């Protein structure tokens, strides 16, 4: 698209010059004109609203982080430790009873169409995330937000959040997501017609004057749109809220560039320029960005490369600059053999697990056995007994990380030196230390369930390591009478409640990627949800009220000893229900070309993307 290329080449300098004359602490662009970096992730971008259930995917979050993280209240560095983003705004806890937190945007921050980021955007984010506003919003997680039942008070670029209970992870909340006026435009495209026409003209011409006309039209539209969003939330206008929620849930889901610019408004260092399904997503320097650290590259292309060998061959040939993925032993050896690359190893805060779906009419659903919960649980237990966790770790992970062990907890990381051994020793995981085919057969026989028992098993298509795991699991499970059916596909459809309110797969294997050091939030995976649109990450229909209550109490518990006790009880109850089993903590491998500097591996998601503004061409850094 001519638009972004022109803005990156000319607009960066022009906007920077304007800021120099009007700001006491001037922003100076450090973009090296004409530079582009190619990086890779093992999956492609699918949705721009990563806060929604449909967009809750690491590949999407990576792009969103690159484009919008400058407009958040903080981020984790690779220590990891929480770093406040004072360049964008400030937050302050003003009361403990009730817990009250004030947020203020202090930067002259704007969306990529020039519209100011303000209180309307923050208020809409609360409405979307809290589950306390009508309309059918489908957030990926309501953790903490659901404790804010009172409509927040807003002022000029300010919002005040008042919690019903003292949420333990309050400091990690960031009340900003996609734009309010953009979401309104997607909900009411007819009202956006003048802006759309101006955008179309600019897209075709690439003329800077046409961008100004587009931006002016967007600002004029936004004034009324933001007022309508705020009014609808404050008045509880269900008609408008439903339209907004539908757009928020669905209109940001795309794998090719949408016609409406409202669907890709950004709030940081980069703008979305182009995306092609399962191939690549390109972002380009945002000329309107004037707050926070300046990136160095004019353009970043994130390529979707599921095959690690292909990725490293591309890096070796100079077609790729940074890669991190799910390696095998062969991949590590290949990476270490690239003379022009830096290899960083470590342990990631992500863990592989298998979930069993309990509400889809399949072999693990009580409804299949006339509502017999015990029989269904025993069938699940039989299947879990066949999963060769130690074999998977020994054959696939140990060659990458010599000291790798099977992970034995659901709720805390194996890297937690205090809580991990407490939970692992008491949760019943010892019963799954070895594969027990005879025990599995006995459980099935006692339940009167005869084979072969067909199990639809999903893993992300094209993921080599998970393909290997699937083969090992299928071979082992077959010995007990389970016949696995390969239902792999690349698009993670089961995570989108608008497409699959009930997961059609009987078993799934993927990883939970830890994005923070939060204590709470596990209720978003393991709690009961009557409304499918609010299921968060509970994709397998699991519901145990005791677990739900324990995890909800954890969210509002500050005492460390009490937190451990709640985690211990919830962990044991989850294992007793036979609905999920962890396998291993991810070994980390980040490989970067000698042509780029500033690449630093990170245990938490977003992995190596966390400091993208520090990446620089090696020749430029040398100068």
Q: In what order do the strands lie in the sheet with 322-324?
A: 270-276, 280-285, 297-304, 32-41, 322-324, 580-593, 341-356, 507-513, 453-458, 482-486
Residue 3 has pLDDT above 50, yes or no: no
Confidence at residue 619, expressed as pLDDT on a 0 to 100 scale: 86
d(CA 23, CA 579): 57
- pLDDT-derived band at 12 (thresholds 50, 70, 90) equals very low
- Please check the confidence at residue 594 and state whether its pLDDT lies above 80: yes
What is the pLDDT, as a whole number, of residue 343?
96
pTM: 0.85
Whether the domain at 50-55+70-268 and the domain at 348-585 fall into the same CATH topology:
no
Please compute the mean of the pLDDT values over residues 448-456 and round it to a whole number. Answer: 93
Cα first-last separation, the chain: 32
Q: Are 585 and 350 in contact (CB under 8 A)?
A: yes
Q: What is the DSSP string of 520-545?
A: --THHHHS--SSGGG-TT-TT----H
Q: What pLDDT score was predicted for residue 19?
A: 29
As a whole number of angstroms, the distance between CA 166 and CA 173 comes to 13
35 and 299 Cβ atoms separated by less than 8 Å: yes
Contacts of 66 by beta carbon, 8 Å cutoff, 6+ apart: 268, 269, 270, 283, 300, 302, 609, 612
CA of 603: how far to CAs of 206, 211, 415, 447, 587, in Å? 41, 40, 11, 43, 10
* CA atoms within a 13 Å half-sphere pointing along the CA-CB vector of 279: 7
Q: Is the pLDDT of residue 462 over 60?
A: yes
d(Cα 415, Cα 423) in Å, to the nearest integer?
13
Q: What is the mean pLDDT of residues 272-295?
A: 97
What's the angle, vertex CA 526, arms to CA 381 and CA 358, rounded to 5?
45
Runs of H (alpha helix) within 285-372? 308-316, 329-336
pLDDT band at 531 (very low <50, low <70, confident <90, very high): low
d(CA 446, CA 356): 20
Q: Are 459 and 466 in contact (CB under 8 A)?
A: yes
Pairing of strands 32-41, 322-324: parallel
Q: What is the dihedral of CA 568, 569, 571, 573, to 10 degrees?
A: 160
As assigned by CATH, the class of the 50-55+70-268 domain is: alpha beta
- Residue ranges covered by each domain of the chain: 50-55+70-268, 348-585
Count other C-beta atoms under 10 Å from residue 96's C-beta.
10
Tens-digit pLDDT profile for residues 377-424: 999 999 999 999 999 999 999 988 999 999 999 999 998 999 999 999
Q: Which residues contact 112 (CB under 8 A, 6 or more apart)?
A: 264, 265, 266, 267, 271, 286, 288
At residue 9, the pLDDT reads 26
Q: What is the pLDDT of residues 535-571, one digit of tens each?
A: 678 999 999 999 999 999 999 999 999 999 999 999 9
Q: Is the pLDDT of residue 31 over 60?
A: yes
Identify any residues that bridge with 551 across adjacent strands, giving them in sequence order: none
CATH class (in words) of the domain with range 348-585: alpha beta
Q: How far apart are CA 364 and CA 378, in angstroms?
A: 9
The bridge status of strand 32-41 relative to strand 596-597 is unpaired
Q: Band the pLDDT of 6: cuts 50, 70, 90.
A: very low
Task: Kindly write down the DSSP assignment for every residue of 584-599, as one continuous string.
Answer: EEEEEEEEEETTEE--
Kindly state the average pLDDT of the residues 74-97. 96
The pLDDT assigned to 76 comes to: 95
What is the sign of the dihedral through the CA atoms of 18, 20, 26 and 29?
A: positive
Q: Does residue 166 have a cis bond before it (omega within 30 degrees)?
A: no
Q: pLDDT tens for residues 334-364?
A: 999 999 999 999 888 889 999 999 999 999 9
Q: Is the pLDDT of residue 18 over 80?
A: no
Higher-pLDDT residue of 186, 20: 186
What is the C-alpha to C-alpha distance for residues 189 and 260, in angstroms, rounded to an integer? 9
In this predicted model, what pLDDT tens digit does every residue of 314-331 receive, in sequence order?
A: 999 999 999 998 888 888
Q: pLDDT tens digits for 222-249?
A: 999 999 999 999 999 999 999 999 999 9
State the greatest distance between any 2 C-alpha atoms of the chain, in Å, as a whole number: 80
* Percentage above 70 pLDDT, the chain: 95
Q: Return mean pLDDT, the chain.
A: 92
Residue 530's pLDDT is 67
Per-residue pLDDT at 490: 86
pLDDT the model gives residue 300: 98
What is the band of 534 on the pLDDT scale with cuts at 50, 70, 90?
low
- The mean pLDDT value for 37-59 works out to 93
For residue 160, is pLDDT > 80?
yes
Q: Quick one: average pLDDT of 450-458?
A: 94
Q: Is the pLDDT of residue 439 over 90?
A: yes
- Check if the beta carbon of residue 218 is closer than 8 Å to that of residue 113: yes
State the pLDDT at residue 536: 75
Q: What is the pLDDT of residue 2?
A: 25
């Amino acid at each position: 698209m001519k638009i972004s290329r022109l803005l990156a080449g000319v607009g960066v300098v022009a906007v920077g010059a304007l800021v120099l004359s009007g700001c006491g602490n001037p922003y100076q662009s450090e973009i090296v004109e004409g530079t582009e970096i190619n990086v890779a992730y093992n999956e492609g971008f699918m949705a721009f609203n990563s806060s929604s259930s449909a967009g809750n995917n690491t590949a999407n979050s990576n792009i969103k982080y690159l484009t919008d993280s400058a407009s958040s209240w903080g981020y984790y560095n690779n220590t990891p430790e929480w770093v406040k983003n004072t360049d964008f705004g400030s937050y302050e806890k003003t009361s403990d009873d009730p817990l009250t937190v004030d947020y203020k945007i202090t930067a002259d921050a704007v969306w990529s169409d020039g519209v100011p980021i303000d209180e309307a955007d923050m208020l809409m984010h609360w409405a979307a995330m809290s589950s306390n506003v009508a309309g059918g919003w489908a957030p990926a997680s309501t953790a903490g937000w659901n404790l804010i039942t009172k409509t927040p008070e807003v002022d000029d670029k300010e919002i005040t959040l008042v919690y019903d209970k003292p949420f333990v992870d309050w400091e990690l909340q960031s009340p900003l997501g996609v734009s309010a006026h953009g979401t309104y435009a997607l909900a009411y495209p007819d009202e956006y017609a003048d802006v759309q026409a101006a955008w179309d003209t600019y897209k075709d011409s690439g003329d800077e004057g046409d961008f100004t006309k587009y931006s002016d039209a967007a600002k004029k539209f936004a004034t009324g749109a933001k007022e309508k969003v705020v009014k609808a939330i404050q008045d509880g206008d269900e008609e408008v809220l439903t339209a907004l929620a539908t757009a928020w849930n669905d209109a940001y889901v795309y794998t090719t560039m949408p016609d409406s610019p409202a669907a890709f408004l950004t709030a940081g260092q980069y703008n979305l320029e182009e995306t092609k399904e399962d191939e690549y997503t390109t972002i380009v320097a945002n000329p309107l960005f004037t707050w926070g650290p300046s990136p160095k590259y004019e353009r970043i292309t994130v390529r979707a490369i599921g095959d690690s060998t292909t990725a490293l061959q591309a890096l070796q040939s100079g077609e790729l600059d940074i890669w991190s993925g799910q390696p095998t032993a062969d991949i590590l050896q290949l990476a270490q053999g690239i003379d022009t690359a830096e290899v960083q190893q470590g342990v990631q805060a992500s863990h592989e697990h298998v979930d069993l779906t309990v509400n889809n009419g399949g072999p693990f659903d009580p409804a299949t056995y006339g509502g017999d919960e015990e029989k269904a649980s025993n069938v699940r237990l039989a299947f879990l007994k066949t999963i060769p966790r130690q074999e998977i770790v020994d054959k696939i992970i140990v060659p990458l990380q010599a000291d790798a062990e099977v992970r034995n907890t659901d709720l805390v990381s194996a890297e937690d030196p205090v809580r991990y051994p407490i939970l692992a020793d008491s949760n019943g995981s010892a019963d799954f230390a070895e594969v027990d085919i005879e025990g599995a057969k006995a459980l099935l026989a006692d339940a009167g369930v005869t084979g072969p028992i067909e199990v639809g098993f999903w893993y992300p298509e094209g993921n080599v390591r998970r393909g290997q795991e699937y083969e090992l699991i299928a071979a082992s499970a077959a010995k007990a009478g389970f016949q696995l059916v390969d239902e792999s596909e690349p698009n993670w459809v089961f995570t989108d409640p608008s497409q699959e309110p009930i997961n059609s797969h009987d078993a799934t294997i993927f990883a939970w990627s830890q994005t923070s050091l939060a204590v709470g939030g596990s209720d978003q995976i393991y709690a009961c949800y009557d409304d499918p649109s609010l299921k968060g990450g509970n994709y397998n229909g699991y519901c145990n009220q005791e677990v739900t209550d324990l995890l909800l109490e954890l969210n509002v518990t500050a005492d460390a000893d009490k937190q451990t006790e709640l985690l211990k009880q919830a962990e044991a109850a989850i294992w007793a229900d036979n609905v999920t089993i962890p396998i291993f903590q991810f070994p980390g491998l980040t490989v970067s070309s000698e042509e780029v500097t500033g690449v630093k591996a990170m245990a938490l998601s977003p992995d190596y993307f966390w400091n993208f503004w520090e990446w620089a061409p090696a020749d430029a850094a040398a100068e």
